[in-house]
């Protein structure tokens, strides 16, 4: 039987990411492990989190059990909000990201190869971007 090396825990990865963030940054959080990052920062961290489904001012995961169905992140998890949070449509959200108004994007890897590469492939029938942000390249 082949043994596989044990990887880092989800919490340890989120903690490591949190150490890269600085006061004043606008940070997009993808689904999965990235949603754990705010929980590893002190309350006065000064980082403004953004979610692709149209929230700026994401506070972190809400595990109180009494959450508002409209306060969810891109992965559908209940979240808290910081004072002054704002809501907008997905087009505006992605325009913020593509327009350079976000300092850091923390991506969740749906599939990661043993060498650390994130999954990224093109589905030609789709006609646009695909899994992992793959785009059709002209040759």
Residue 61, phi then psi, degrees to nearest 5: -70, 145
Please state, in angstroms and as integers, the Cα–Cα distance from residue 107 to each residue in 30, 36, 65, 70, 138, following that order: 5, 12, 26, 23, 26
Q: Please give the positions annotated as active site.
A: 52
Please state, in angstroms and as integers, the Cα–Cα distance from residue 8 to each residue in 5, 12, 16, 137, following that order: 10, 6, 10, 34
Q: What are the counts of helices (DSSP H) followed by strands (DSSP E) for the chain?
A: 2, 5
Contacts for 19 with CB less than 8 Å, ≥ 6 apart: none
């Amino acid at each position: 039987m082949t043994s596989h090396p044990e990887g880092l825990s989800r919490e340890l990865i989120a903690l490591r990411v949190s150490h890269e963030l600085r006061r004043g940054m606008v940070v997009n959080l993808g689904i999965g492990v990235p949603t754990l990052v705010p929980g590893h920062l002190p309350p006065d961290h000064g980082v403004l989190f953004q979610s692709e489904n149209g929230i700026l001012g994401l506070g972190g995961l809400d595990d109180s059990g009494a959450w508002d169905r409209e306060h969810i992140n891109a992965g559908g998890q209940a979240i808290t909000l910081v004072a002054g949070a704002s809501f907008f449509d997905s087009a505006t959200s992605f325009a913020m990201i593509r327009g350079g108004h976000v300092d850091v994007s923390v991506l969740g890897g749906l599939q990661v190869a043993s060498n650390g590469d994130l999954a990224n492939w093109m589905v030609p029938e789709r006609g646009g971007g695909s899994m992992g942000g793959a785009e059709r390249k002209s040759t």
